[in-house]
Amino acid sequence: MSWIDLLRMSASNLKRRKLRTFLTVLGVVIGTASIVVMVSLGLGLQKSVYDEMEQSGGLTTINVTGSESVGDGMMYSSNSDNSDEAIKYIDDNCVKKFGELEHVKAAAPIYETSAICLKGKYEGYISLYASTPEGLRMRDIKLADGGTLPKTGTGKLELVYGNNVLTNFSERGNNSSGYWETGELPDIDLMKDSMFMILDQDAYYNSQSSGGFQVDAGTDGNGTSNVPQSAKKHIVTASGVVAGGVDDYNMNSYYVFCDLDTLKQIMKKEFNGRVIPGQPSTKSGKAYKEFYYSSAQVKVDDMSNVNDVAKQIREMGYNVETNVEYMDSMKKQMAVIQAVLGGIGAISLIVAAIGIANTMMMSIYERTKEIGVIKVLGCSLKNIKQMFLIEAAFIGLLGGIVGNMVSFAMSGAINMVTAQSSTLGVEGNISYIPVWLVLISLGFAMLVGMVAGYFPALRAMRLSPLAAIRSE
């Protein structure tokens, strides 16, 4: 018997029992869709993590911090009037040393602090991320059309706003509500509108609380007030905006980027003789002459050399984080997540396999006389086994195809819901179905069908032709 004849007979047998075939295929559809969607959730999470790594410099970037925190609007003090050698801060000299290490392509300082932006009746709290042009390029900031990275050497502070920065703005006043309460964005065009930026937040809040009159907020080492009567307002403009809407999240969404040298010049001039926000101070409260950075990014020439360079920097007394180490840790976690999600989906497919086996057994009982007749007519045992295996495989294939179609629909719905809710805080789709997953699921569904139909096929082979013909 030819393969065409076997296929024709298998298809005909399945058509004769449409309801049973439909219910069996439905079981495979549910099982396939379940396992594909479950695995896609793990793959989507993994892809989101890898995308974030790429935005933070990829697998060849090392993030270096000192033994004491600097920046982010916080002030830390040392225990003496002189620099303590036990405390490791990151300065220009350190960054230069990092750049001179073997296998290092570039090293860039990073300074993070906070500021206040004012536009008309709106007030916004922003997180400033300042670095060199090379450091900003390492960040891999994707800009909306028409945007550029901040220029250096102009003396004017240009900003690149994150696509979610507007959500931090609200109307000034005690009873003002922001975007998260009202769902309405302020009437501000980040790209076109200039703003006032306030770096000295103590002075700003001091003047606000006193109705424009100075309130004693601290003293310098000589017992005199170190807070000016009013905060200086710097006019700032935008050179670009991070690509995406307010519902799109990435690791750059809430940052405001600027040129480090320009920001340093402005802050040194404004805080002349005072401690710059985020900078350490002596025990007596005096500022250091040296400017210290929040962190540094070190770009290595090849991923294989990352651990060696990281070891050298650690031996210098600095804290080091690498995406390679993070990726290794994430791979272990992802493997567990994938196994759990895949196992949950596999249970549904196992149930479907039982359904296929039951269907094939019932088919054999109903077709006992038919099997006996074709045996008497000379049909080989091999052909009989092949016929039932083809039927089972066809059920698995059909269920796999429809199951994948259902899984794509479910994946799209999941991505749409999570994108709108923004509850997971990850960039991109939380569910990701690659081509290889589709092909593997189809093959697995067929395999499950054939395995489930194997033992019923063996039983059909062992039927006695005469006993089968006599059966009612």
pLDDT on residue 223: 41
- CA triplet 156, 94, 272: central angle to 5 degrees? 40
Q: Are the C-beta atoms of 461 and 383 separated by less than 8 Å?
A: no
What SS3 class is residue 69?
coil
pLDDT on residue 190: 92
Per-residue confidence band for 195, with pLDDT thresholds at 50, 70 and 90: very high
5 or 265: which leads in pLDDT = 265
Asked whether the predicted pLDDT for residue 76 surpasses 80, the reply is no
Per-residue confidence band for 217, with pLDDT thresholds at 50, 70 and 90: very low
Per-residue confidence band for 228, with pLDDT thresholds at 50, 70 and 90: low
In Å, how far are 158, 434, 458 from 98, measured between CA atoms? 28, 40, 70
Alpha-carbon distance 35 to 443, whole Å? 13
* Amino acid in position 149: L
221 or 146: which leads in pLDDT = 146
Average pLDDT over residues 391-407: 88
Q: Are the C-beta atoms of 64 and 319 separated by less than 8 Å?
A: yes
Per-residue confidence band for 214, with pLDDT thresholds at 50, 70 and 90: very low
Per-residue confidence band for 470, with pLDDT thresholds at 50, 70 and 90: low
Alpha-carbon distance 384 to 454, whole Å? 11
Alpha-carbon distance 177 to 273, whole Å? 37
Q: Which range has the worst mean pLDDT, 54-58, 343-347, 424-428?
A: 424-428
Cα Dmax for the chain: 114
Alpha-carbon distance 254 to 165, whole Å? 5
Contact partners, residue 84, CB within 8 Å, separation at least 6 = 78
What SS3 class is residue 309?
helix
DSSP 292-307: -BSEEEEEES-GGGHH
Q: Which of 50-59, 191-200, 359-368, 425-434 has the highest mean pLDDT?
A: 191-200
pLDDT on residue 265: 92
pLDDT on residue 173: 72
pTM over 0.75: no
| Mean pLDDT of the chain, nearest integer | 79
Q: Are the C-beta atoms of 297 and 64 separated by less than 8 Å?
A: yes
CA nearest neighbour of 74 among 257, 294, 283 = 294
Average pLDDT over residues 443-469: 73
Q: 159-173, pLDDT tens digit by residue?
A: 999 999 999 999 887
214 or 446: which leads in pLDDT = 446
Average pLDDT over residues 217-242: 69
Q: Are the C-beta atoms of 130 and 291 separated by less than 8 Å?
A: no
H/E segment holding residue 113: strand 104-119
Per-residue confidence band for 413, with pLDDT thresholds at 50, 70 and 90: confident
Average pLDDT over residues 218-243: 71
Alpha-carbon distance 158 to 146, whole Å? 14
Average pLDDT over residues 214-241: 64
pLDDT on residue 111: 94
Average pLDDT over residues 8-31: 79
Asked whether the predicted pLDDT for residue 149 surpasses 60, the reply is yes
Average pLDDT over residues 307-319: 91
Q: Are strands 122-131 and 255-259 parallel, antiparallel or unpaired?
A: parallel
pLDDT on residue 2: 65
CA nearest neighbour of 389 among 366, 357, 348 = 357
In Å, how far are 77, 149, 161, 190, 326 from 144, measured between CA atoms? 40, 11, 10, 12, 29
Alpha-carbon distance 21 to 16, whole Å? 9
CA nearest neighbour of 74 among 279, 298, 365 = 279
Q: 252-265, pLDDT tens digit by residue?
A: 899 999 999 999 99
